Amino acid sequence: MAFLTLTDIRKDYGAVTAVTDFSLTVEQGEFVSLLGPSGCGKTTTLHMIAGFVPVSAGKIRLDGRDITYAKPNSRGLGIVFQSYALFPHMTVAENIGFGLEMQRVSKAERATRIAEALSLVHLEAYAARYPRELSGGQRQRVALARAIVIRPPILLLDEPLSNLDAKLREEMQFELRTIQRRLGTTTIMVTHDQTEAFSISDRVVVMEAGRITQVDAPYRIYEHPRTRFISHFVGKTNLLEARVAQAGRGGRAAIGGQLFAVDLPVQMVADAPVALAIRPEKLRLTEAGSGRIGGTVASRYFLGSQWLYHVDTPLGMLLAVLPNDGSIPRDEGEAVGIDWADEAIRLLAEDEVAA
């Protein structure tokens, strides 16, 4: 039996439906991220789990118990907000111990558990400081310690790293995952940052317009996106509008009179429109006159570890990302060939294909 189950959850705000047909099961100890653009319903979903927002329809069960209409304080969940919501007049230790005090935990046990939480987030030396005396990363650690010290069945994270600078954010991603694994706490995180979701999650729930569009391991979502939206939102992609030339395994799709190998469902009919996607890093730039197609470098950008190229081709403008291996980069205006492996092309879902 799943530890947390959401069944057909819906949230209406008057005539506006923010979340609909949301069903998800989460196993104990799993780290799941809700990923999507602003306004897709991910924070609303998290707040329904927390009890801050009442559901309009559906059921929420936690460890076999129906908590759909339970009050937030009776659910016992740990929550880290985007703003951290620390009490400015309390020290670090007092902030961390606040939830334990509300649970009427004895003073001796509070002291022990606060010390354990401080050690877990490496803030032993900061127990007597106030939030204003801490860096952003340290405040984030205090908020995390306050959430986990009550030993919640589920930890809810609402964009917990969004206020940090890029370098610290990356460091805290791995720190957060390390702590979660050490504790084994079931965790659900809301984020709009794909790198953040992919780097630390067991599974990712991609949302669009209040609905789930794909639930899978990060690697599979990136390598096998089901829709145009996912292929564009998750990483960069080249979208190719094609027609069926031959369906089935080892099939062929035609683009501008050229045939390309791609597995196509056997039920597809000849000349039916299909949308194909290929990631920029799957493309290789070769010498002019070689490869599958030819093109001209329209622009290039140096990204440190990578070179990003826009290449004008008979298929349209293609984006190629190549590792910086120290070799001389291609010049703008240079004629090149483009090649890729057959398995690099992905077929997108039919309901996202424009006829």
Span 165-183, pLDDT tens digits: 888 888 888 888 999 999 9
* CATH code of residue 311: 2.40.50.140
**Of 140, 218, 145, 152, whose CA–CA distance to 185 is shortest?**
152
- Count the Cβ atoms, other than its own, within 10 Å of residue 350: 13
Domain boundary among 210, 229, 248: 229
**Range in 25-29, 186-190, 253-257, 333-337 with the lowest mean pLDDT:** 253-257
Please give the structure tokens belonging to residue 325. 């291996």
- Report d(CA 128, CA 96) in Å as an integer: 11
Could you tell me if 97 and 207 lie in one domain? yes
Distance in angstroms (rounded) separating the CA atoms of residues 326 and 331: 15
Are residues 225 and 246 both part of a single domain? Answer: no
Q: Is the domain of 332 the same as that of 218?
A: no
Strands 238-246 and 273-278: antiparallel
Segment 170-178 long-range contacts (CB within 8 Å, at least 24 positions apart): 171/137, 172/137, 172/140, 173/199, 173/200, 174/199, 174/200, 175/141, 176/144, 176/200, 177/31
Compute CA 338 distance to the chain's CA centroid, rounded to the nearest angstrom.
30
CB neighbours of 304 closer than 8 A, spacing ≥ 6?
324
Across-strand partners of 260?
Answer: 253
Q: What's the whole-number mean pLDDT along residues 23-42?
A: 96
Q: How many domains does the chain have?
A: 2
Q: Answer yes or no: pTM beyond 0.75.
A: yes
Range of the domain at 50: 4-229
**pLDDT, tens digit, for every residue of 229-263?**
999 899 899 999 888 888 877 788 888 778 888 88
Give 191-217 pLDDT, tens digit per residue: 999 989 999 999 999 999 999 999 999
